[in-house]
Amino acid sequence: MKPVMYAATGLLMPALLLAGASVTASDVHDLPSPTSVLEAGLIDISGERIGTVTIKPLATGLSVHIAVEGIAPGPHGMHLHQAGRCEIEQSFATAGSHLAGEGHAHGSHAGDLPNLIADASGNARTQTTVESLSLTDIIDSDGSALIIHASGDDLQSSPGGGAGPRIACAAFTAGNHT
Ligand SMILES: [Cu+2]
Ligand SMILES: [Zn+2]
């Protein structure tokens, strides 16, 4: 008997179901949640774990939840980047640029998220909705990464809205779904 790779099938199935025209909003709640939620640890530039990012599919788009501790108070640019690589030796540069979708300029990229606002203690916990991406965009062949930057993003100027260095990274690949 040949071994069969059920893991990959289990991962892709909910996303394929969501793409089907017959799936309604109430059906979404009936999908097996373990295979439709992605979770990844956020690491800082020294490789220390400082938070968690969770991505859940919606009927249209994705819900992204971010929890992070110990960053500088105030606004931080935050984006979904093209590759699921968080290499501290490369200062997270190998995660590539922003997931673009149909957007051609910074501020209209699918991966451009609202600024993350850390409180006076440097902690932040927030949720945002990304309407134009699906789970299959996140865990495509090279995965995706959520990156937090040192400074606020004006969501206008290219390439990165003045958000500065990449200070935290969470990598999503086909292997780290929960
Ligand atoms: Cu970024
Ligand atoms: Zn952008």
pLDDT, one tens digit per residue, over 52-65 is 999 999 999 999 99
Determine, yes or no, domain membership for 1.
no
Q: How many separate domains does the chain show?
A: 1
Smallest-distance ligand from the CA of 148 = 1
Of 100, 98, 66, 60, which Cα lies nearest the Cα of 81? 98
Domain that holds residue 141: 6-176
Q: Assess if residue 108 is contained within a domain.
A: yes
> In this structure, is residue 65 part of a structural domain?
yes
State pLDDT tens for residues 92-133: 999 999 999 888 899 999 999 999 999 999 999 999 999 999
Ligand closest to Cα of 115 equals: 1
H/E element, 169: strand 166-172
What spacing in Å lies between the alpha carbon of 99 and ligand 2's midpoint? 7
Instruction: Considering every ligand atom shown, identify the ligand nearest to the alpha carbon of residue 100 and give its number.
Output: 2
CB contact set of 146 (below 8 Å; sequence gap of 6+) = 40, 42, 53, 64, 66, 78, 79, 80, 81, 113, 169, 170, 172
CATH code of 71's domain? 2.60.40.200
User: What is the Å distance from ligand 1's center to 78 Cα?
Assistant: 5
- Give domain status of residue 152, yes or no: yes
Are the CB atoms for 65 and 129 separated by under 8 Å? no
**12-16, 80-84, 113-117, 171-175, range with the lowest pLDDT:** 12-16
Distance CA 145, CA 172 (A): 6
What pTM did the predictor assign?
0.79
